[in-house]
Structure 1
Amino acid sequence: MAVIRRRVASRGLAAGEKLPSIRALARQMQVSPSTVVEAYDRLVAEGLVRARPGSGFYVAGFAPAALHAEPAPPRDRAIDPFWVSRQSLDAAPGTLRPGCGWLPPDWMPAPVIRRALRTLARAEPGVLADYGATRGSPALRALIARRSVADGIEIGAEQVLLTSSGTQAVDLVCRLLLEPGDTVLVDDPCYFNFLATLRTHRMQLVSVPYSPTGPDLDAFAEALARHRPRLYLTNTALHNPTGATLAPAVAHRLLSLAAAHHLTIVEDEIFADFEPDPTPRLAALDGLARVIRIGSFSKTLSASIRCGYVVARPDIVERLIDLQVATQFGGPGPMAAEIVATTLADGCYRRHLAELRTRLARQRQDVAARLGTLGIVPWTVPRGGFYLWCRLPGQRDAADVARAALREGVVLAPGNVFSLAQSATGLMRFNVAQMNDAAFRVLRNALDG
């Protein structure tokens, strides 16, 4: 390939000129004909060479397009949910990301995933090439159903629908249950992509202050009576961004209010596996009458293997299936589902979770102590997970601190991207697993600046 490229670049081979035959080039370079065939095929894929059946290979009329560096995400745009997402997802190599929402690669169970990939390589051809069933992999749905039963939610696999991600699960539920202009209730603060997703559906958003034990119930009741929302979207197990845990009394009162006002609750449990002990699940207390449970495996297994799920009443699942077929012709591909199912069934994955909880507990304690030396104080002490929701010292504006840190190659998550009411100016979410000495140095400089 290098020889052909050099000849084209030096004009030793002109556009349209026929290349040596496979056998002739193999003799000339003292390689096997199969090596030349592969080289020519790759050059065809590059666009440098064209194949003419029955005639041979010819130099194309243009050089292959060069790979250019990806443009950096714009830094001067407003600091909103998309700012944090794009700075984190499109970060240049070497960028530190304490503001992102996932664990570093070396915290994830790579050996378990590699074993699952080897198993996948031996799967029947249909798994590697076909569309999947409309509900998704039966094996994975059965595993999710068993996990739900362990949480007190008595369901079968028929009440589980696989999706391509947790975000897509939220999107499908919104498409099914809401019309543009409907009102949706969210926590303040809440996961910033909830706000981004709901705005794409042109919803009217109303927020309720969140406390260390759950939403402010008086404000919640007032919002229900005044705005009559159709949907409430929340995390209950290790709330994002605060790390708070829903108290049992708050959960019961929340469900009573939802029933009285015909409110549907979407409970995102994506962080549930990080809890040392399970806490009350709205879906379990409600029996899925008014609650829809969603989740994915991007936080504990791999963000690269896109696979989420919905657990709901049978009638809702049936309608979601039709909607998912209409919008993307089924759920996640069989390959992703098979990798997840194989990994979850591996005893090593359970040990990975136990080790992860222990490691994160130490990291949270260490990072909280080091933040304390900078005058940064946690809003609450989480029971698990990898977030610390913290108040900055003095009257510092977290957005200004985030801009200063980004100039030094560190992505932070300032409070107001999580707040519909823009009431979190002095707060910031830190991913403890992404905090290291360099991140602390930049954070200190940003605070001093």
Structure 2
Amino acid sequence: MSYGQQTQRVMQAVRSKISSRALEPGEKLPSIRGFASTMNVSPSTVVEAYDRLAAEGIIFARKGSGFYVSPKTQPFSVAEIGPLLDREIDPFWVSRQSLDTGMDMLKPGCGWMPADWMPNASLRKAIRNLSKADDHLLSDYASTRGAANLRRLQARQFAAEGIEVDPNQILLTGSATQSIDLVCRLLLRPGDKVLVSDPCYFNFQAILKAHQADIVSIPCTRTGVDFDEFEQAIIEHKPRFYISNSSLHNPTGVTLSPQSAHKILTIASRHDLILVEDDVFAEFLPETTPRLTALGGFDRVIRLGSFSKTLSASVRCGYIAARPDWIEALIDLQVATSFGGPSPIATELIHSCLSDGSYRKHMEALRRRLAKTRREVSANLAELGIQTWLMPEGGFYLWCSLPEGIDSADLARAALQENMVLAPGDVFSPTQSMGQFMRFNVSQMGNPITYEILADVMCNL
């Protein structure tokens, strides 16, 4: 049993004692050494388990005294909603490992490109220019909608796609993740149902769980959704909205054809369903493809995006484009939760970089580099018996099937011991039916050791 599994076993033992009333609120927990002996684990395992339980608010520490059971009123913990998963296949675990590990960690499972793939020279130039900015930009809060210059630039980008939108219909947010959270705050109440694809971006599930929504999933095909199942799920479950990626679906790489997008809009209109279009990967496509918003407008479609994938995850900013009454309500929610839009410093840096002619050249070169890298990585993985499910038109993800008999969660656990973070299929699956799949980030696979570790780990499973 791995260290992580031992820690989970100790945590579950404490939870069981509390739920069975063997430990009452305010009662002291067994000492670390004593409980380590009882559980037949190391003291460090118990320390890790107690620290995690304290972070969840289940127990608390008294300096010099030990750990005690918290009062009955506990903070809400999204990790406890729904079935308990092995930590290695839990979306929170994957996110935390990717974010918290050091520079020496291999990260084929993470969701961003390496720093040397990003337009850092443009960012440095923008930062130098920012030093000359007016004092109010360096010191003041943002306006409620966010920087007007960046919203106007985004509106022009929409116009290039054939989408007419007033800059006041665009709300800048702290990130695409915050955008989804705000939309959930606007539209959802606990117990509402939301429709997603299976597989889907794992943070969709995490945010929906945080809002105590019920997830309804339908299979993702190589052309998008199964339309019969899509409509049947709407009829049967009456979801509040459907959220997905129209372009370069995460994790599969599927991009909707105009015909598929039109069919989704037709079905949604027939059943008065709201559509939330997460468009964070669209710029990686070599050519603009029709979006739901381009075909259906903003009557029932909300479009989200950000600049983190193409520009910088360190200078975060997202946006929401929607009909005016929804934008007004979302502004109030953002004021209530964040007191205004994203940092004026962040938005000025982003506007400066996007307005720089070098950004367009950077994206053109990046698309070519990714196209070559996708082919190379797919071929290298095929030599290991790992097959690409669909070769996407752009982006940096490959959704792959593993050799028969290898479970992606087992592979992820073993790879972690070799200093490598992977993204196993069930992380993305609401039904936990993707154990034979793995998502690979091709931009994070330049080190040949990556393939050596994969080969060795698979041989030992």
TM-score (norm: length of structure 2): 0.80
Aligned equivalents of 2:428 and 2:166: distance in 1?
35
Q: Is the 8 A contact 2:88 2:94 kept in 1?
A: no
| Alignment correspondent of 2:185 | 175
Pairing of 1:166-315 with structure 2 (within 5 A): 166-315=176-325
Q: Give the partner amino acid of 1:105.
A: A
Q: Is the 8 A contact 2:109 2:441 kept in 1?
A: yes
1:129 aligns to 2:129 (yes or no): no
* Partner SS for 1:306: coil
After superposition, give the CA deviation of every residue in 1:94-142 in whole Å (9 maximum; x if it has no partner): 0010000000000000000001111111110011000011000000000
Shift in Å at residue 260 of structure 1?
1.3
| Alignment correspondent of 1:343 | 353
Aligned equivalents of 2:453 and 2:398: distance in 1?
18
Q: Give the partner amino acid of 1:343.
A: C
Shift in Å at residue 288 of structure 1?
1.0
* Partner SS for 2:89: coil
RMSD over equivalenced CA pairs, Å: 1.0
1:439 aligns to 2:456 (yes or no): no
Pairing of 1:80-119 with structure 2 (within 5 A): 80-119=90-129
After superposition, give the CA deviation of every residue in 1:132-160 in whole Å (9 maximum; x if it has no partner): 11000000000111111111210121111
* Partner SS for 2:229: helix
Q: Is the 8 A contact 2:88 2:409 kept in 1?
A: no
Shift in Å at residue 438 of structure 1?
1.2
1:329 aligns to 2:339 (yes or no): yes
After superposition, give the CA deviation of every residue in 1:361-386 in whole Å (9 maximum; x if it has no partner): 01000000000100111110100000
Change (3 A) 1:76 1:216: closer
Aligned equivalents of 1:77 and 1:294: distance in 2?
29
| Alignment correspondent of 1:429 | 439
Q: Give the partner amino acid of 1:439.
A: T
| Alignment correspondent of 1:367 | 377
Shift in Å at residue 92 of structure 1?
2.4
Aligned equivalents of 1:447 and 1:190: distance in 2?
25
User: How many residues get paired?
Assistant: 375
The structure that has the greater radius of gyration is 1
Shift in Å at residue 77 of structure 1?
2.7
* Partner SS for 1:106: helix
Aligned equivalents of 2:332 and 2:391: distance in 1?
42
Overall identity of the aligned pairs, in %: 57
Shift in Å at residue 78 of structure 1?
4.8
Pairing of 1:135-150 with structure 2 (within 5 A): 135-150=145-160
Aligned equivalents of 1:214 and 1:128: distance in 2?
44
Aligned equivalents of 1:200 and 1:381: distance in 2?
33
Aligned equivalents of 1:118 and 1:205: distance in 2?
46
* Partner SS for 2:220: strand
Runs of 4+, deviation exceeding 6 Å? none
| Alignment correspondent of 2:422 | 412
Aligned equivalents of 2:189 and 2:158: distance in 1?
30
Change (3 A) 1:301 1:374: same
Q: Is the 8 A contact 1:103 1:434 kept in 2?
A: yes
Aligned equivalents of 2:87 and 2:267: distance in 1?
39
Q: Is the 8 A contact 1:230 1:262 kept in 2?
A: no
Aligned equivalents of 1:179 and 1:262: distance in 2?
18
* Partner SS for 1:371: helix
Change (3 A) 1:262 1:82: same
Shift in Å at residue 76 of structure 1?
7.1
Aligned equivalents of 2:88 and 2:388: distance in 1?
26
TM-score (norm: length of structure 1): 0.83
